[in-house]
Amino acid sequence: MEGGVHQEEIDPGDPTSPEAYHDPCSNALSKLLWNADASVSNALIEFLNRAIQEGDGATLSKREFGANLIKVANDQVNLGVVGVGPQVQPGYTPTVAIPANGATYLNWMGDVHNHPSGDPIPSDDEWYMFQNRVADIIATHPERNAEMQYVAIYIVIGDPPNAKIYAYTRHSFPGQQGQEVNPDAQSCPL
């Protein structure tokens, strides 16, 4: 099975440890994280399709696109509705409003968006909003604490087939490039 969990933290009880790589689909938490990576890999196709619909051609360099990751039945993770930002303008930082559209504190598994600039690092605002959302979810739904240690904000850089995806968990170091996600990640079978 191809695919990959993006996290670097390793400990014996860690669902992203080398032991989990033997069968990441064997427990609910590692399966959920594996499926989030796979959903993000599929986001590239959705973002590119939206770019073409917007008249941008086959490139993600003209605007930001973004979507939430939503946990559904059987530890599967779906890509939410893709939000489309305005065209990049000189002197303005590109943005995208990611539609909630079904994402709640009970099912949110992170989000994914692209950076037309090619900078793989989350902006200070993105980092702050991500950290606050994770903290709010843990505070209001402590049963999600284990998941929230590994959910990520994913940033897409470049255009397929050369695009790269970087994951940032709440334990990532601000200002440092995140762990690269396998662009060929596949979901666990149902």
What's the rounded Cα separation, in Å, for the pair 75 and 174? 29
Rounded to an integer, what distance in angstroms lies between the CA atom of residue 82 and that of residue 67? 5
Q: What residue segments make up the domains of the chain, in order of their start?
A: 18-181
- Residues above pLDDT 90, as percent of the chain: 74
What tens digit of pLDDT does each residue of 105-153 get? Answer: 999 999 999 999 999 999 999 999 999 999 999 999 999 999 999 999 9
DSSP 73-88: GGG-EEE-PPEEEEEP
Tell me the backbone φ, ψ of residue 183, rounded to 5 degrees.
Answer: -70, -10
Summarised one tens digit per residue, pLDDT across range 85-101 is 999 999 999 999 999 99
